[in-house]
Amino acid sequence: MILGVLIGIWMGAVPGLGGVLGMILLLPFTFDMEPVHAFALLLGLFAVTSTSDTIASVMLGIPGTAASQATILDGYPLAKKGQAPRAFGAAFTVSAFGGVFGAIVLAISLPIITPVITSFGSPEIFMLAILGLVMVGSLSGGSIGKGLLGALLGLLISTVGAAQTVAIYRYTFNTDYLLDTLPLIPCVLGLFAIPELMELAVKNISIARIENINTKKSRITDGIKDAFRHWWLATRCAAIGTYIGVLPGLGAAIVDWIAYGHAVQSSKDNKNFGKGDIRGVIAPEAANNATKGGALIPAVAFGIPGSLGTAILLGALLMVGLLPGPDMLTTNLHITFSMVWTLVFANILAAGLLMIWANQVAKIAFVSGHLIVPGVILFVFMGAWLGGDVAIGSWITLLVFGVLGYLMKVSGWARPPLVLGLILGTIVENRFLLSVRAHDGFSWLSKPLVLFLLGLVLVTLYFAIKGIRNKKRGTTDKDEQGEGRASNPVISSIVSIALIFVFSIASWIALDWPSEVGLFPLIIALPAILITLLTARSDWNGAQALYQLNPKATAIIREAIDKAYLTRSLIFISMLLGIILLTLLIGQKLVLPIFIYLYLTFWGSKSKVLAVTYSLISWVVLVFFYDRFINLAFYMPIIQNPLEAILPKNFPIWLLF
């Protein structure tokens, strides 16, 4: 278990790795183990990745795993204020609590959980997914319209690839890479990692925006006290996490957002959410760890995996000669309870270890951004490669979504709704079509649980609209901190016009498909066009207000460009594009160290000794971790075959390609 916990901490902390990869790597080692030993190793890793993923979310604004996306909204602003230790203290405390809570609920719910699982059919899961999308869209940033548009764009992008019911491919544009749905990891890393790294590089700043001398104001113990002070919020969110984790297919993809939305809407004073409110860290972190216990309930009791991680655990069950079902609750009950205790001890152990290391990790916030950017770029690019079908298209996807994420960040478009739409798109379409078919139309909308969830959707929208109106009436605060709160109407207008074009083209193409193939894209795109026109009008009014202050169009455009650091950002994007192009020629193991050397030497103005050392370390990581340990398939560059022909036959070519 301890070994699993240590590996899980590493896998969760590095963007793009995650618990699924770790479990796949460890699975072969469990073939000859006793069942309890095998699950101690696998569950030790499985339980803690959603604890250590907080490190990347808080320190870099990058989701370590899908379960830590909502933590970014307040965790990263806390790090910018130099309060990363406080964020870690609160996060690790409630993560341990949530994990233990989920394990206890797992233990007491196994005999009685059947009615809960069976009450959620396709209509209910569809409506729950819609609730998550609306909650995130309405609570992210200062514009409900832009939040909902982000969710709709994510849903539209999720339709790329094969249709749900008919062998027809959508929006592939004759590109083989798009025949399957776009992989999630390159999209998420592009949206969040590239813009944050670009900011550090372009502005030449550290993560923290205050001097290091102020770190004494933030301690691990402050976060622990925060967790105990908000114990009732943590308990409620842990309960939310446990029971949403029970539902197959949703789990970590939605639970942190629902918990975050619950924290915002249940709080009387929510004006600081998105700007560094500790409750915005406590809520999702308590929920995502509790999900693990909930996800094991259908897996162990019914053989229904709620996620890829629990599917791997089911495979391990079968390999050691156990069958999920009634036997796990009777004759093999001792093994089931060993799983419960593993979850309990693994969460406590991981939280304790991370508490010890947190102060050292938090010091990264005050390190020069130029020293952080190259190393993180390496892990981001390799994470995208690893999580994106090991094809050059994954890096292109990473860069495209990086540009999109940058434009959204600087112009006030919240990115979380887009990610959640992308995650839930397949589930939403699948459950929608199943519901319509099973009930011969839309009679399923009258089901009691569906009506209850629909009521929650409407209540969420009502309170979100009311809250935003009250803020606009009651304050003149121009603070642009927080996700989706930036103000740059010129660039936002460009984004709006581009979205009108995208949704219009998507609608036009969908009209040529059979109704069951084109129905879902049309349901997304047609309302999105109307909402985009409204946001474009709002952006135009904002641009006109600027024009009244300074009636020179060129001056307004220049100010918008300078505010977004557009010129230097384009140079940085060009450098990342250069990584992709040079990879085609000489491969990743050479390109990434070369990029690091050139970045540190010319962009960061660091010494050549430091640049060479940094580059060599990155090369070692690429060769001995990603290649030798993970056994990752690297891209075969143009020069590989000619070079192999002239090198000695016993030369280890894997050192270069």
How does pLDDT run across 567-625, given as a tens digit for each residue? Answer: 889 999 999 999 999 999 999 999 999 999 999 999 988 999 999 999 999 999 999 98
Domain assignments of the chain as residue spans, ordered by start: 2-472+481-486, 581-655
User: pLDDT class for 426, splitting at 50, 70, 90?
Assistant: confident
Structure pTM? 0.81
**Mean of all residue pLDDT scores within the chain:** 82
User: pLDDT class for 215, splitting at 50, 70, 90?
Assistant: very low
Q: Report the pLDDT value the prediction gives residue 284, as an integer from 0 to 100.
A: 87
Q: What percent of the chain has pLDDT over 90?
A: 18
pLDDT at 214 over 50: no
Helices and strands (DSSP H and E) totals, the chain? 27, 2
pLDDT at 479 over 60: no
Is the distance from CB of 419 to CB of 483 less than 8 angstroms? no
Residue 111's CB is within 10 A of a number of other CB atoms, namely 9
CA–CA distance, 145 with 197 (Å, rounded to integer)? 27
pLDDT at 433 over 70: yes
pLDDT digits (tens, 9 = 90+) for 276-334: 888 888 988 888 888 877 777 777 766 666 666 777 777 777 777 777 766 776 777 78
User: pLDDT class for 476, splitting at 50, 70, 90?
Assistant: very low
Identity at 123, one-letter amino acid code: P
DSSP E strands: which ranges in 331-466?
none
CA–CA distance, 31 with 316 (Å, rounded to integer)? 8
pLDDT digits (tens, 9 = 90+) for 484-530: 677 788 888 889 999 999 999 999 999 988 888 888 899 999 999 99
Is the distance from CB of 500 to CB of 474 less than 8 angstroms? no
Q: Report the pLDDT value the prediction gives residue 640, as an integer from 0 to 100.
A: 92
Q: Report the pLDDT value the prediction gives residue 556, as an integer from 0 to 100.
A: 79
